[in-house]
Every structure is written in C-alpha cells, then in structure tokens.
C-alpha cells in the first residue's frame, strides 16, 4: 500500500511539473454542456484553435455537441460568428441525431447578422437521450486575411441555449464557446539564386525576386542596389512578373547609378493579391571589376598566394576576387492603407547575425567579407580562374603569350606603358615580370574552374 501511495505522489508531482502548453484542453466537462469543436478540436479562451499563415479560401468545420446530458428531449440554441473573416458555405443537422424520431422546429443561418440557430424536439415514442452527441455541422469559408504583425482571435458565441427533459423540466447546461486565433506570418523577400559566381567578363545572368506570404498586395516599391563597377543592367533587362498581374495603373522603372527602382501599382478596382510568387527579375552583365583601377591598367586581377602545405615547400597563387552584396529595400501597399516594409533593419537579428534572404526563420552568420550589417539579400562574386589574364573563363596559350610579351619588364624601365603593364602582369608583385609570374599562368593551362576555397571559401547562403 505504501508503494502505491508513493507512486501516486510521484506521478502527481511529475504532472504538476509539466508546462501548461503540454496539456491540451480536453472537454467535455463532467456536467451537461453544449460545446463546439473547430476542425475537430475542442477549444476555450486559453487554448484556441490556431491557424497560421494564409487562410484565404480555406475551409473551417464547426460542430455543435451536447455532452453528458441525461434525458435530453428537446433543445434550441443560437450562436454568432464573425462575418469580417468568415462566410458560411454549408450547414446541416448532424447525420446521427440524438433522437430516433424527431421534428426540426428551426434550422436557420443569417449570413448578414452572422448567426445560426437550431431547434429540435424528439417525438413519441422516442425516449430522452443520454450521453454525448453532435447536433450540427457547419462549414465556413475564409474570404479575408489577417495582416502581419497583428493576430486576430475570433469567437463563436452561444447567445441562447435551452434544453428540456422528457418531463418538460429544464435541463441546466454549461456552455463552451469556440475560439479561433488567426496568426499571420511575416512576409519576406528573397533573391533566386541567392549566390552568383561568374568568371567570364561580359557574361549575363538573371536573378528573380520572390515575395513570400504577402497579404492584400496592391502595389510594390523596391530599390535593388549593386556595385556598378562590377555589374550593369538596363531597361531591357528588368522583367515584371505576373504575380501582381497586369494591366497596371502605374509602372516606373528607373536606373540611378548602381540601383534599379521599381514602382508598380494595379488599379483600385482589381482584387488584391495574397500568397507567394515572383515579383520581378533582373538580368545583370558581369563587368571587369579591375578595368578602371589605375594600378591594374590591363584589367588583370591582382594575385595573392597561400602556402600549399604546412612544410611551405612551394607557393600557390590565386587571383584576388571581387565581391558585391545585392541589397533590396522597399515596401508593399496593401488594402486599407496598410504598408508592409521589407528589406529594412527589422530583419537584423543582432550585431553578428543578419538575414541573408530576409526570411525571419533563417539567419546567416555575418562572416562574409565587407559585411556591414543591414539587409543583405544576395551575393555576387567575380572569381577569376587562376592564370586567366583576359578573363574569358579559360586559361590558355593566349594568356601565356600575353605575359610573355612583357617578359623581363621591371617597374624601373621608365616607360609609361611598361609601368602600366608591370602593374598588371607582375602577378607576384615583386617589381619584375619573370618566370615566377609565368609559372602562375603555365601551370593552369586549360583550366576552366575557379578555386572554391582560395583566396577564401565561397559563402554558402
């Protein structure tokens, strides 16, 4: 007996230690009650049914139950619902009613007032009902959306309810309303792909800008910034996608230095847009990042070296890379005057962590070169192939012939062309173009791939 008492006490202690969140609400109560389930779940004010994210056009099932009743012979009830977010699409009396024979006095839905009422009585010779039974099923359609960052709690309220026994005696009932919480998700925007690596001057690539979980969008206004020394684009290379569908009331695309600004708006009479989709795309052209650098007049990337092994038996050279963060900032205009800002410091998690893609669920350590914090959406890098002096994506005899043409030149030759070329072809930066510079090219003949690790590892967003 002592062992049993001890086990009971231990079990009670363990249960008391559980957080409330671990204990689901479990009606019905022992006493007679009228209650409802939402999507098959019991709810109360503390434990509402939580629906997260976009619910537009989704369906909600509401079932009304009598629980733990004794000699239930007739009843009526009426409840209200919120017509701001829900519209009824179907309602029925439960297919398994409590009475073998009955008479339906009333089954009525008022879509304007947002009410449903039902009244039913058993008929002789059916006896009163004992137990728990469902008496109504209603299906509702979400035609409105909650907007970030404000969740909404909706309640199905029993405004009247009566129950009678077979002896025409009032059957007292407690009641439990239905509680529903609509929890919006923070919209975010990403660049696809989030990382672009190029090795050929003049090549083009296209990136798409995709918005997630937006609600009631009527227009968007964004500025995409980039380094104009490394990338270029123009009006023929910006594409508005159909996620915000045409025709448009207003479109403006401008090109300040190192930026693309987009303002797109649909007419007021057109329905707003919900969900996830691509807003626009930009095709960029890869430029030679070193062409305008005076000390690199031929446009050849400066080289750096790392020791090939711990024994430091020989050096391996890699062309310096040039990187560029592609940023986006702006807003979306929505119904009812709401403005959703995207690409601002709201997405900065802390001093050492930021959102690369603006997804609030994921973060990236700020360990990339030149990261200054703020909102980073994409990464572009021109990473030259070792020995590829003309930056055409292939180290070949053309590169070897180019450096051979200036073989032996030094920074003290006194000729301006020689000074310019020494800065470009002096890959070891020792003041002379010699065999050590030539080896950098000759050992990489026929190479068409970059080194993913040197001079530092490629980022992995």
Count of structural domains within the chain? 2
User: 443: number of CA atoms within 13 Å, CB side?
Assistant: 11
Look at residues 183, 204, 223 and tell me which one is the last residue of a structural domain: 183
Specify whether 343 is located in the same domain as 280. yes
Which of 40, 42, 60 shows the shortest CA–CA distance to 51? Answer: 60
Domain for residue 448, yes or no?
no
CA–CA gap between residue 81 and residue 60 (Å, rounded): 12
Specify whether 247 is located in the same domain as 368. yes
Residue for token pair 């968007």: 220
Domain for residue 239, yes or no?
yes
Domain for residue 112, yes or no?
yes
So what's the pLDDT on residue 297? 61
Specify whether 379 is located in the same domain as 290. yes
Domain for residue 461, yes or no?
no
Specify whether 197 is located in the same domain as 255. yes
Specify whether 197 is located in the same domain as 217. yes
- What is the number of other CB atoms lying within 10 angstroms of the CB of residue 37? 18
Specify whether 177 is located in the same domain as 200. no
Specify whether 287 is located in the same domain as 168. no
Domain that holds residue 78: 24-183
Specify whether 155 is located in the same domain as 242. no
So what's the pLDDT on residue 277? 96
Specify whether 170 is located in the same domain as 214. no
* CATH classification at residue 103: 2.60.40.680
So what's the pLDDT on residue 200? 96
Cis-peptide into 28, omega within 30 deg:
yes
Q: Encode pLDDT of 60-82 as tens digits.
A: 999 999 999 999 999 999 999 99
What predicted TM-score, i.e. pTM, was given to this entire model?
A: 0.77
Specify whether 154 is located in the same domain as 200. no
Residue 418 has pLDDT above 80, yes or no: no
Look at residues 387, 415, 432 and tell me which one is the last residue of a structural domain: 387
Specify whether 131 is located in the same domain as 276. no
Look at residues 164, 183, 202 and tell me which one is the last residue of a structural domain: 183
Domain for residue 356, yes or no?
yes
Q: How confident is the model at residue 21 (pLDDT cuts 50, 70, 90)?
A: very low
* H or E element in which residue 131 lies: strand 129-142
Domain for residue 408, yes or no?
no
Specify whether 42 is located in the same domain as 132. yes
Mean pLDDT score, 121-149: 93
């Amino acid at each position: 007996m002592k062992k049993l008492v001890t086990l009971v006490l231990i079990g009670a202690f363990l249960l008391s230690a559980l957080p409330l969140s671990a204990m689901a609400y479990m009606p019905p109560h022992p006493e007679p009650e009228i209650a409802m389930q939402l999507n098959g779940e019991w709810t109360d004010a503390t434990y509402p049914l939580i629906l997260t994210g976009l619910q537009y056009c989704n369906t909600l099932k509401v079932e009304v139950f009598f629980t733990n009743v004794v000699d239930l012979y007739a009843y009526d009830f009426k409840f209200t619902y919120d017509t701001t977010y829900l519209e009824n699409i179907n309602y029925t009396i439960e297919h398994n009613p409590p009475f073998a024979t009955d008479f339906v006095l009333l089954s009525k839905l008022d879509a304007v007032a947002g009410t449903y009422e039902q009244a039913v009585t058993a008929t002789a010779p059916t006896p009163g009902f004992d137990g728990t039974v469902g008496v109504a099923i209603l299906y509702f359609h979400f035609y409105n959306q909650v907007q970030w960052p404000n969740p909404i709690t909706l309640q199905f309220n029993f405004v009247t309810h009566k129950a009678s026994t077979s002896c025409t005696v009032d059957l007292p009932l407690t009641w439990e309303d239905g509680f529903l919480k609509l929890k919006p998700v923070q919209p975010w925007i990403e660049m696809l792909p989030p990382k672009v690596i190029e090795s050929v001057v003049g090549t083009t690539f296209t990136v798409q800008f995709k918005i997630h979980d937006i609600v009631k969008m009527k227009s968007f206004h964004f500025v995409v910034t980039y380094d104009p020394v490394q990338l270029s684009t123009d009006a023929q290379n910006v594409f508005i996608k159909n996620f915000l569908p045409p025709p448009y009331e207003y479109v403006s695309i401008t090109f300040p230095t190192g930026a693309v600004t987009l303002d797109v708006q649909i007419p007021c009479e057109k329905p707003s847009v919900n969900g996830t989709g691509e807003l626009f795309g930009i095709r960029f052209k890869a430029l030679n990042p070193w062409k305008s650098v005076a000390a690199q007049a031929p446009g050849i990337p400066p080289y750096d070296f790392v020791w090939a092994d711990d024994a430091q038996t020989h050096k391996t050279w890699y062309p310096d890379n040039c990187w560029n963060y592609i940023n986006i900032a702006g807003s979306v205009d929505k119904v009812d005057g709401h403005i959703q800002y995207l690409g601002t410091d709201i997405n900065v998690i802390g001093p050492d962590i930021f959102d690369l893609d603006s997804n609030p669920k994921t973060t990236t350590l700020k360990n990339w070169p030149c990261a200054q914090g703020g909102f980073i959406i994409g990464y572009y890098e021109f990473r030259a192939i070792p020995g590829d002096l003309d930056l055409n994506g292939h180290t070949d005899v053309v590169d070897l012939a180019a450096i051979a043409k200036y073989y032996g030149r030094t920074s003290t030759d006194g000729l301006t062309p020689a000074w310019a070329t020494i800065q470009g072809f002096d890959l070891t930066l020792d003041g002379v173009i010699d065999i050590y510079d030539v080896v950098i090219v000759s050992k990489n003949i026929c190479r068409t791939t970059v080194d993913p690790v040197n001079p530092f590892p490629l980022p992995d967003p």
